[in-house]
Amino acid sequence: MEVLLTGFEPFDGQRTNPSWDAALAVRPDGYALTTLRLPCVFDKSLEMLRAALDERRYDVVVAVGQAGGRAGVTPERVAVNLDDARIPDNAGNQPVDVPVVPGGPAAYFTGLPVKACTAALTGAGIPAAVSHTAGTFVCNHVFYGLMHLVATSHPGLRAGFVHVPFAPEQVADDTPSLPVETTARALELVIRTSLDTAVDLPVTGGTLH
């Protein structure tokens, strides 16, 4: 089984990004893992992702991003066709009310079994909840673009997006954080659950709206 795991470079003045640090720390077991660091730049991030999907066939793609302030790992359920940036990306772009894909559907649902993933995470003692909003910054841009690529060019590919909290070294107060090692373990569980679970669970213990 071939898995692609993506993370992001640091952004918004940060010196690190736990989405990428954790991706590098994942130790695959029973599957081949490719990691890809995406730029925190709207169009360029999707260009790199599209090139990676065209280069090799994957069974599962898990894109990962940082969601500072969240207390746990949050598999995302819905990507919306909207770029609306509160801050500029790393190239200075700050789109407002712009579609990710002009003429594309308003939204896509994830292809990952997010409720089963959340159950696996909480069962392992890792704080987690299903999220119904990936925001409107570069993370959602990649999530929507990924699902559009699945719908239009890569049928059968199981793909989705997961947000992770700050790492402890990024916070100096009581802002929630998770050690990178814990986040890496969470990503391993997400990948394994996505490979092993054909149909998602009907219920889950928690959701983040």
pLDDT for position 205: 45
Task: Answer for the pair 7, 38: CB distance below 8 angstroms, yes or no.
Answer: yes
* Cβ atoms of 12 and 18 closer than 8 Å: no
How would you write the pLDDT of the chain (209 residues) with one tens digit per residue? 999 999 999 999 999 999 999 999 999 999 999 999 999 999 999 999 999 999 999 999 999 999 999 999 999 999 999 999 999 999 999 999 999 999 999 999 999 999 999 999 999 999 999 999 999 999 999 999 999 999 999 999 999 999 999 999 999 899 999 999 999 999 999 999 999 998 898 854 444 54
Assigned token pair, 92: 């200075």
* pLDDT, position 201: 85
| Domains, the chain, ordered by start | 2-208 (3.40.630.20)
Q: Which of 40, 139, 141, 188 is catalytic?
A: 139
Given 40, 76, 117, 148, which residue is catalytic?
76
**Residue 139 a catalytic site member:** yes
Separation of alpha carbons 100 and 136, rounded Å:
10
| Active-site residue flag, 76 | yes
Q: CA–CA distance from 43 to each of 10, 95, 206 (Å)?
A: 17, 11, 33
pLDDT, position 203: 56
Q: What is the C-alpha R_g of the chain?
A: 16
**CA 38 – CA 64 distance, rounded (Å):** 10
- What 3-state DSSP class applies to 33? strand
Active site residue 163: yes
DSSP string, 178-196: --HHHHHHHHHHHHHHHHH
Of 40, 148, 163, 188, which residue is the catalytic one? 163
